[in-house]
A and B are shown apart, each in its own frame.
Chain A
């Protein structure tokens, strides 16, 4: 594995990587086998390969992003989280990552099941709909909230299944998943100091990140 972690180029990329991707990358051990669902242009899998020697692959629904990723030498296939996970064999990956995509899939519960079938661990990030600005906007204006994360009007948004941190804990409980790690971050990208209190995290965390496994 080419150890590129010390090169300035890679540091530059990592610094400019989306916040949730940077946090996810920190959760994934070296040399593991990773599937990134909704991998976009492949920033995370590139980072995981170059800095950690992971066998990282991606699925992305947007063909322009796929073309961009493959043209940069990354193993990415065009596919859909809702329909293209079922054919993978059980336990094919160590980590299956779904970053900021859960809220946009048709059947989030089924996608999570598939993730924990084909991977030993699932890493899921999503924008928290319980964030105080979201609540405040709905309460104050009576209209669907628009924030930097929830940036599109209700009729244009692909985010058909928004949820809060509390909602996600409930789903994990219902499905019998073990929450191995979780954290909430505020808009400045700082790990929230209220991490031990779900209620506070649900109010002040703009984004949430979970690592799960089957019980």
Chain B
């Protein structure tokens, strides 16, 4: 599969011909947001749940992915009878602004005349820009108030930002495995990934699209590093230990750097499968947006001011073995919400699967999410 595999898929999109002013001061002359919906919007338009995806996620939450053919990234959570029950709720998920699955981003055409993509000229965007684009989308869909906004990791940052920017439009907020700002460690890992992309000759200063190539090696290394941060040491040990691949060992390959350990082969697979579904400039743009995120900084370094008087019901969920967005960072949010006298539930789920746990089969997590939403539905008077 080459780069064009990303381009040929026809995504469901909303076009905003008047564009959008970004936080950086630049204006996107026009904006498209690709999205998917599941379930049915009720007559009162009160049962909508917005799902915010993570860094490399997209809008294909609960259905096979059109590029990879794999199941939806949250198919264990979103669907009929599942924690986010599509028999009951109308679920919306959009590809983030700056993404590469149909929403306006570095791969999008800058203007119709030139026929050239934005590439590295795409303006820097922020989590707030992503959220404002989502706000435009839900308005377009005729929804004034969301019953809930739910998301993990970078999606959780969007949830926090939604609740802070539009408290009256969010009845319930579920930020999962996330943080109110990107820590130095988070930024450091992102920077390693970005430098890997820059170092790839095929990156061509961001103009790799000119000859339809992709900086596959750099992007793959970026993904490999990131993937390590999504797992825990226990999970890596449990899955791979120090096991070596028997085929290569049997073949008597003498190079010390051939596929030796299973964990290496796993990471290489993760890296190489990623490059076919993700655009390098998008990866750079979105990781930067995460790095910029600091909700307290926008409120005089007082995080609770970001939620002052909030009517939203919050449920913070973290995972015990997540060292990328550790429980301590969720607790910072919980305490800030307490200081704002907001309604907060806060649970740390015991799991040895690391940050990735929010995407995996974690029954306690799924029960917590389902129960919280059901409780909120009762308070919201949802039938």
Q: Which A residues are closer than 8 A to B by beta carbons?
A: 2, 55, 57, 63, 66-67, 70-79, 84, 87-89, 92
Contacts and interface: CB of A to CB of B under 8 A. Distances in A.
Interface residues of B, number: 29
Interface in B325-383: 334-336, 338-341, 343-350, 364, 367-368, 370-372, 374-376, 378
A70 B343 CA distance: 12
A70 B347 contact: yes
Q: Which 3 A-B pairs have the closest CB atoms?
A: A73-B375, A71-B371, A77-B346
B313 interface: yes
Contact of A66 (B340, B347, B375, B378): B347
Given A70-B371, A71-B370, A88 B343 contact: no
Contacts of B371: 70-73
B315 interface: yes
A73 B343 CA distance: 12
A165 B313 CA distance: 38
A57 B374 CA distance: 16
Identify the interface centre among B316, B344, B347, B364: most chain A CB within 10 Å of its CB: B347
A87 B375 CA distance: 25
Contacts of A74: 345, 375
A48 B365 CA distance: 26
A63 B350 contact: yes
Given A70-B368, A78-B347, A84-B338, 9 more contacts: A63-B347, A63-B350, A70-B347, A71-B368, A72-B371, A73-B372, A73-B378, A79-B334, A87-B338
B294 to A, nearest CB: 19
A75 B335 contact: no
Contacts of A89: 339-341
Interface of B: 304, 313, 315-316, 334-336, 338-341, 343-350, 364, 367-368, 370-372, 374-376, 378
A2 B378 contact: yes
B313 A75 contact: yes
Contacts of A71: 364, 367-368, 370-372
Contacts of B364: 67, 71
Contact of A73 (B304, B316, B348, B374): B374
Contacts of B341: 88-89, 92
Contacts of A78: 346-348
Identify the interface centre among B345, B346, B348, B374: most chain A CB within 10 Å of its CB: B345
A66 B340 CA distance: 21
Nearest to A66: B347
Identify the interface centre among A67, A71, A88: most chain B CB within 10 Å of its CB: A71
Nearest to A58: B345
Contacts of B375: 72-75
Given A2-B378, A63-B350, A76 B338 contact: no
A75 B345 CA distance: 5
A121 B218 CA distance: 61
B315 A63 contact: no
B349 A70 contact: no
16 contacts: A57-B343, A63-B347, A66-B346, A70-B315, A70-B347, A70-B368, A70-B372, A71-B367, A73-B375, A73-B376, A73-B378, A75-B345, A77-B334, A87-B304, A87-B338, A88-B339
Contact of B344 (A2, A63, A77): A77
A39 to B, nearest CB: 11
Nearest to B371: A71
A67 B339 contact: no
Contacts of B315: 70
Nearest to B304: A87
A71 B317 CA distance: 12
Contacts of A55: 343
